[in-house]
Structure 1
Amino acid sequence: MRSPTPSSDPAAAVEPDGVASGREQHRQRVIEAAADLLERGGREAVTTRAVAEAAGLQPPAIYRLFGDKDGLLEAVAQYGFAKFVASKYVDPDPADPIDDLRAGWDLAVEFGLSNPALYTLMYSEPAGRDSAAFQAGLEILRARVRRLAAGGWLRVDERIAAGIIHATGRGAVLTWLSQPEPERDPALLTALREAMVTAVTNERPAVRDTGPAGAARALRATLPEQTTLTNAERQLFREWLDRLAADHVT
């Protein structure tokens, strides 16, 4: 069983402020050193000795800060998600929500292609996906999907749409990285992106179509903002909208 990391150590909560601050600085330095080694030499390059040397610390410091190498790799994965979220530009009111969807997808793929080893680690460490940064990234994606739904552009359920967008972006990166460089064709990325757009959006807003499904999805997206209904009424209304939204032509 792995020894606990500092974040789960009760003693950390009672450290003096100066000690805690210094510890966090050392921790961040180690994470950045490990991330740099990861990108330059792959996962095998991230040894406790190499990381400690790059960070200017002694190897035992790695174990005090992270428990073991697995704990360090989990922290690097969380660092990757934080770096990704920091790179995102979020337009709260895009002129064209479908172009905004394309831009968001392109940005996610570009991050993976620019940080291949880090990206691969991010999706191989389950603990990284529990981090606040990963959840923040998901919320940015959900907000894009919500805008599509509110405008009547969404062809499928919001949850399914988010899953398709996330899965196609991740699949595009990992597929690209798995190919020999001479065989990598940018047309593949464009085709995958457009397949994603076709899968989750309508060619024109569904609220202009005959039938209740598109209108139900659009109304459902704005339902949380309504204050004239009680919680019980909103819950019942959402159940009705869910049933109407599910009754669409595939």
Structure 2
Amino acid sequence: MPPPPPTWDSATADESDTAASDREQPRQRVIEAAADLLAREGRDAVTTRAVAVAAGLQPPAIYRLFGDKAGLLDAVAEYGFASFLATKEARNPDAEPQDPIEGLRAGWDLAVEFGLANPALYTLMYSEPTRAASAAFKTGMKILMGRIRRLAADGWLRVDEDLAAMLIHATARGAVLTWLSLPEDRRDPALLTTMRESMVTAVTNDKPAVQSGGPAGAARALRAALPEQTTLSGAEQHLLKEWLGRLASDG
């Protein structure tokens, strides 16, 4: 017995999905064409006409899909953040260092290596502060915050979690952009190593603070574990987090 014909609702949904797919295909083609032009010839080469030709479309299609050139560049930057996120997610979990400090170094190195391998794209990604609103950027930061929370829970974190994230992110970005700004004959690998180790020193303790008996490290460790507990009410968690923040700031 043949299956019943689709209802109006399911047929409409199928048509809607097909239409969305049809719109997404040329959009993705344009983004990839722009990213390729950016990598090969630099930002000045990414004109609406050149991108349209590379994507096999007419220039008005760029404006219809992205609004203007700024919208196109924002989409290419988002593509860059998504590409970097994919490199993070593609890492073999078995290759992750067991030592949390080595894991921090490995994550920092991964970010820097992506920037050095994709100089024009990386520069575009960080040329506008508003691009921190990118969905892929936020997802990447969530992964970083998870790593930082584990450091805090084990007593390794020297500073507040938010400050640690800013230091890790700022040093990696600064290392890449400084390296790219230098003439090739002045690019000393010691710059990258020194910046990474300065970050590690600023963010982590030499030994887990919770083993030292001091209140600051223990407060950071307890504060990091708060989201996992179910005993306290929301108001009690908020108050305890405030108290722990004061203790943590004394260390």
Same fold (TM over 0.5): yes
- The worse-fitting range, judged by mean Cα deviation, of 180-189 and 93-102 is 93-102
The answer to whether the aligner puts 1:226 opposite 2:229 as a matched pair is yes
Cα displacement string for residues 102-154 of structure 1 (whole angstroms, at most 9, x for unaligned residues): 00000000000000000000011344321210100110111111011000000
The answer to whether the aligner puts 1:238 opposite 2:212 as a matched pair is no
Match of 1:121 among 109, 114, 124: 124
How far 1:231 sits from its partner (Å)? Answer: 1.3
Match of 1:153 in 2: 156
Cα displacement string for residues 34-85 of structure 1 (whole angstroms, at most 9, x for unaligned residues): 0000011111010111101111111111011001111100100111000000
The answer to whether the aligner puts 1:171 opposite 2:174 as a matched pair is yes
Query: What does residue range 14-33 of structure 1 map to in structure 2 within 5 Å?
Result: 16-33=16-33
Distance 1:225 1:16 in 2: 41
SS of residue paired to 1:75: helix
User: Which consecutive residues of structure 2, in runs of 5 or more, have no partner in the other structure?
Assistant: 1-14
How far 1:91 sits from its partner (Å)? Answer: 4.6
SS of residue paired to 1:152: coil
Say what the alpha-carbon RMSD is for the aligned residues: 1.5
How far 1:159 sits from its partner (Å)? Answer: 0.6
Match of 2:37 in 1: 37
Match of 2:75 in 1: 75
Runs of 4+ in 1 over 4 A off after TM superposition: 90-94
Match of 2:11 in 1: none
Query: What does residue range 86-125 of structure 1 map to in structure 2 within 5 Å?
Result: 86-88=86-88, 89=91, 91=93, 95-125=98-128
SS of residue paired to 1:124: coil
Letter in 2 for 1:209: S
Letter in 2 for 1:102: R
SS of residue paired to 1:167: helix
1:74–1:127: 8 Å Cα contact kept in structure 2?
no
Instruction: Say how many residue pairs are matched.
Output: 234
Letter in 2 for 1:17: D
Distance 1:64 1:189 in 2: 42
Distance 1:90 1:228 in 2: 36
Distance 2:19 2:30 in 1: 16
TM-score (norm 1): 0.90
1:74–1:125: 8 Å Cα contact kept in structure 2?
no
Cα displacement string for residues 134-181 of structure 1 (whole angstroms, at most 9, x for unaligned residues): 100110111111011000000011011100000000000000000000
- Percentage identity across aligned positions? 74
TM-score (norm 2): 0.90
Structure index of larger Rg: 2
User: Which consecutive residues of structure 1, in runs of 5 or more, have no partner in the other structure?
Assistant: 1-14
Cα displacement string for residues 186-221 of structure 1 (whole angstroms, at most 9, x for unaligned residues): 111001000000000000000111320000000100
Distance 2:74 2:35 in 1: 11
**Distance change (3 Å), C-alpha of 1:169 and 1:76:** same
The answer to whether the aligner puts 1:212 opposite 2:222 as a matched pair is no
